[in-house]
Amino acid sequence: MNLSQEDWVAQLAADENAVVLDVRTEDEFNDGYIENAINIDIHKGQGFIYELEQLDKSKNYYVYCRSGARSAKACQIMNELEFANAYNLLGGILDWEGDVVEP
């Protein structure tokens, strides 16, 4: 499901079962990420699927990338793998107005 930044942030803040998932490359992630995000690079192909399969599918995943395209694809994959909920951040980190953690 696609959410505006406002809805994504509000829903995330109220969700005690939330996980933030960054699907960018490790290099992109190391340039700065949304607080508490875990990083699994969607470009890993089958490796991405394998790492997703290790996650708790009952949690709610708030997924983002640079612009929203890769994260939309990641949410689609997660739905196919029967994750409970995967929410895509429209506009990605490019449009992000919140804090970014600089590693």
Q: How far is CA 34 from the centre of its chain?
A: 10
Q: What is the CATH architecture of 2-95? A: 3-Layer(aba) Sandwich (3.40)
Domain ranges for the chain = 2-95
Q: Percentage of the chain surpassing pLDDT 90?
A: 99
Two tokens, residue 26: 């490790």
Per-residue pLDDT at 103: 82
**Active site members:** 65
- The per-residue pLDDT of the chain, averaged, comes to 97
Binned at pLDDT 50, 70 and 90, residue 72 comes out as very high
**How far apart (Å, rounded) are the C-alpha atoms in residues 9 and 98?**
9
**How far apart (Å, rounded) are the C-alpha atoms in residues 88 and 103?**
23
DSSP annotation of 101: B
| Residue 40: CB atoms within 10 Å | 22
Beta strands in the chain (DSSP E): 2-3, 18-22, 38-39, 60-64, 85-89
